Amino acid sequence: MPVESAPRIGHNKKMAEIKLAKTAGFCWGVKRAIDITLESARGKGEEVYTYGPLIHNPQLIKLLESKNIHVETNLDNLKPGSEVIIRTHGITPQKRDDLKRHGLVISDATCPLVAKVQGMIRKFSRKGYSIVIVGDDHHAEVAGLKGFAETPVYVVASLEEAKKLPDMEKVFVAAQTTCDIQNYEAIKKYFREKCPDLEIGETICEATDERQSEVIRLSKEVDAMVIVGGKNSANTARLAGIAKEQGLDTFHIETDDELDLTHMAKYQSIGVTAGASTPKWIIDAVVAKLSSIKEQRKPLPVEILGIIVKSNLFLAAGGAILTYTNALMLKETPNPLIVGVAFCAIAATYLTNQLLRPKEIQKSQIRKYNYHLKYNSLFWGIAIAAAVSGMVLSFNLGWPSLAIYLAVVGFGTTYGLDRGRFRLFVRLKDIPASKDIFVSLAWVMITVVLTYINEKGTGNITFPLLITFGIAYTRSILFDIRDIYADQVIGKEVMPMLVGKEHAKKTLYGVLLGISIICIMDILFGGRGSLMAAYLLGIAYLLGFVYYNESKIWINSAKFDLFLDTPYFIIGAVAYLIA
């Protein structure tokens, strides 16, 4: 149900414009806690526990339970040696001592910003300051903060409550990290005028500041706001309150199932934001459902292009073109059979793997998931036809080619799935950052090695091998960065999850610049300058793509796939013209 406020005028019957806040979704503290939790549970047969809900989002808690991670608050229910994860909101020193007395193994997922506030309260309390915490006295974070005070501690939620406090000589004022900014500013001003010895902690986290400020800005551009997040989430509730204060019809929902599209259809523009503990897949589902309001049928060419991209046929064509270019680099006439095998292997591997993992695709790429539902029979037909055709073509090339094809397609289509009895062996998926490396190696085998072993070219295999690996690795990492929030919940072993998004981007720049140097050196000294120029143009395009997506990204859009896979066609077109 909406939070009632004055309605806006100017509604029409056009498709609603949906504006998604840039700050919607997990903050870095929540992402860190989920990472710690999944890492603690990975590979363990016994249950792992969180001391209270890890974050305030019921859907994520339910997902963690499916991964053998359970919420527990009664320590008597836990046997000594059990692993317990301290939630993002932190706990009191007394409760931490209780965990130790029960012989439990502690993993601390307290948000570092919360831990910083805890330390400040302890520091000033030991100096004799009375402590005033601005926030919700019933919130888990505030309960934990109070435990660090050794002098009188008071919790106030408003300026009116602050004015009722007794006179104090020395006061340290801190805020719950998700506190309303304007409320905190008013209370700080009051204490500055009242207390002779005052210390103030700037303890509202940056993510809270950004979210609240963006809601205010976004409210000037839309007719209604949808706030996505747990009903028990304090920071999400504050976002809803701020939107209401701007005079907007405001809807605080947990999932897209709560949306009444008939009611929402009256709005011309709708803003969407989410609390710091809301998973990306839930936000995507809400945006996708809102986008369906009075959605007009797409023009046939656009619909066909969407099918080609979402079925990975566009990517497969790019792989075939890269195979053609690599053959020229190996000083061979491109073999149509090998080009066809590359097309079939990429189409079959990517599409089948996605069709076999619908729940994971739903959580990371909701629009692609919807395409898979709509065209499920067609996509399965494409995947099977590609797989069978690839086997026939590779068989005609000989047993070594068939073996490479079956190995790449077999491993690629089942990557990330539960392989049953094969779990007795070391799971390659569990090697940190393994996915991106294995994907790149598969591209090398299909687009370079097949040509090399069949045609026995006189060219040097090293350069096309390194360049192909670098381009494929860049593509894989860029998809990881796009889906990083979902990845940290799903638990995929990808490089950005291990080192962070910014370090992953720096790695991409290093990889692309490295293979650019290889191209330039060969142009200057290797005698294949014209063909290397084709690779160099594609690499330059990818550098621009990485740079552009520093500030803008087409989340869950076919545009992302389309533009990311374009360099294969650039490389092939230039190589064809040169050849």
**More confident call, 347 vs 265:** 347
Same domain, 313 and 433: yes
**More confident call, 296 vs 503:** 503
Instruction: Return the pLDDT at 361.
Output: 74
For the sheet containing 48-51, what is the strand order? 69-72, 48-51, 83-86, 105-108
> Tokens for 535?
């690779």
Q: Are 236 and 273 in contact (CB under 8 A)?
A: no
Q: Of the residues 4, 17, 39, 141, which is catalytic? A: 141
Over residues 467-480, mean pLDDT: 91
Same domain, 223 and 309: no
* CA–CA dist 220, 216 (Å, integer): 7
* CA–CA dist 475, 315 (Å, integer): 11
**pLDDT-derived band at 4, boundaries 50, 70, 90:** very low
Instruction: Return the pLDDT at 57.
Output: 87
Q: Which of 293, 326, 307, 264 is nearest to 459 (CA)?
A: 326
Instruction: Return the pLDDT at 10.
Output: 40
Q: In the predicted model, is pLDDT for residue 436 greater than 80?
A: yes
Most confident of the following: 50-54, 306-310, 435-439, 443-447? 443-447
Instruction: Return the pLDDT at 32.
Output: 86
* CA–CA dist 138, 96 (Å, integer): 19
Over residues 283-298, mean pLDDT: 77
Same domain, 323 and 462: yes
**pLDDT-derived band at 432, boundaries 50, 70, 90:** low
CATH of the domain at 74: 3.40.50.11270
Query: What's the mean pLDDT when you consider all of the chain?
Result: 86
Over residues 394-408, mean pLDDT: 95
Instruction: Return the pLDDT at 479.
Output: 84
Among 147-161, 431-445, 475-489, where is mean pLDDT lowest? Answer: 475-489
Q: Are 205 and 177 in contact (CB under 8 A)?
A: yes
**More confident call, 174 vs 497:** 174
Q: Phi, psi at residue 410, to the nearest 5°?
A: -65, -45
Same domain, 431 and 572: yes
Q: In the predicted model, is pLDDT for residue 566 greater than 80?
A: yes
Same domain, 402 and 518: yes
The DSSP bridge pattern shows strands 105-108 and 69-72 to be: unpaired
Q: In the predicted model, is pLDDT for residue 340 greater than 90?
A: yes
**pLDDT-derived band at 470, boundaries 50, 70, 90:** very high
Among 263-277, 428-442, 542-556, where is mean pLDDT lowest? Answer: 542-556
Of 250, 273, 291, the one marking the end of a domain is 291
**pLDDT-derived band at 348, boundaries 50, 70, 90:** very high
Q: Phi, psi at residue 207, to the nearest 5°?
A: -60, -40
Over residues 121-135, mean pLDDT: 96
The DSSP bridge pattern shows strands 48-51 and 69-72 to be: parallel
**More confident call, 207 vs 387:** 387
Over residues 200-229, mean pLDDT: 91
**pLDDT-derived band at 164, boundaries 50, 70, 90:** very high
**pLDDT-derived band at 2, boundaries 50, 70, 90:** very low
Over residues 554-563, mean pLDDT: 71
Among 72-76, 147-151, 548-552, where is mean pLDDT lowest? Answer: 548-552
Same domain, 512 and 574: yes
Over residues 552-577, mean pLDDT: 81
Is residue 141 flagged as an active site residue?
Answer: yes
**pLDDT single digits (tens) 17-29:** 889 998 888 888 8
Q: In the predicted model, is pLDDT for residue 381 greater than 90?
A: yes
Instruction: Return the pLDDT at 200.
Output: 95
Instruction: Return the pLDDT at 209.
Output: 85
Domain that holds residue 39: 28-111
Over residues 71-91, mean pLDDT: 92
* Residue type at position 124: F
**pLDDT-derived band at 422, boundaries 50, 70, 90:** very low
Instruction: Return the pLDDT at 5.
Output: 44
Q: In the predicted model, is pLDDT for residue 280 greater than 60?
A: yes
Of 140, 174, 204, the one marking the end of a domain is 204
Same domain, 355 and 432: yes
Over residues 48-69, mean pLDDT: 88
Please state the pTM of the whole predicted model.
0.69
Q: Reduced to 3 states, what is the DSSP secondary structure of residue 152? A: coil
Q: In the predicted model, is pLDDT for residue 154 greater than 90?
A: yes
Instruction: Return the pLDDT at 446.
Output: 96
Into how many domains does the chain fold?
4
* CA–CA dist 454, 433 (Å, integer): 32
Q: Phi, psi at residue 472, to the nearest 5°?
A: -65, -40
Instruction: Return the pLDDT at 140.
Output: 92
**pLDDT-derived band at 205, boundaries 50, 70, 90:** confident
**pLDDT-derived band at 1, boundaries 50, 70, 90:** very low
Q: Which class for 281: exposed (0-12), middle (13-18), buried (19 or more C-beta within 10 A)?
A: buried
Same domain, 38 and 122: no
Q: Reduced to 3 states, what is the DSSP secondary structure of residue 363? A: helix
Same domain, 155 and 18: no
CATH of the domain at 132: 3.40.1010.20
Same domain, 265 and 342: no
Q: In the predicted model, is pLDDT for residue 431 greater than 70?
A: no
CATH of the domain at 423: 1.10.600
Q: Phi, psi at residue 552, to the nearest 5°?
A: -145, 140
Among 55-59, 90-94, 155-159, 436-440, where is mean pLDDT lowest? Answer: 55-59
Instruction: Return the pLDDT at 458.
Output: 62
Share of the chain above pLDDT 70, in %: 87
HSE at residue 377, side-chain half, CA atoms within 13 A, is 0
Instruction: Return the pLDDT at 427.
Output: 54
Same domain, 411 and 369: yes
Most confident of the following: 137-146, 208-217, 350-359, 456-465? 137-146
Same domain, 198 and 213: no
- What is the separation, in whole angstroms, between the first and last Cα of the chain? 64
Q: Reduced to 3 states, what is the DSSP secondary structure of residue 270? A: strand
**pLDDT-derived band at 63, boundaries 50, 70, 90:** confident
Q: In the predicted model, is pLDDT for residue 425 greater than 70?
A: no
Q: In the predicted model, is pLDDT for residue 53 greater than 80?
A: yes
Of 149, 177, 204, the one marking the end of a domain is 204
* CA–CA dist 287, 227 (Å, integer): 11
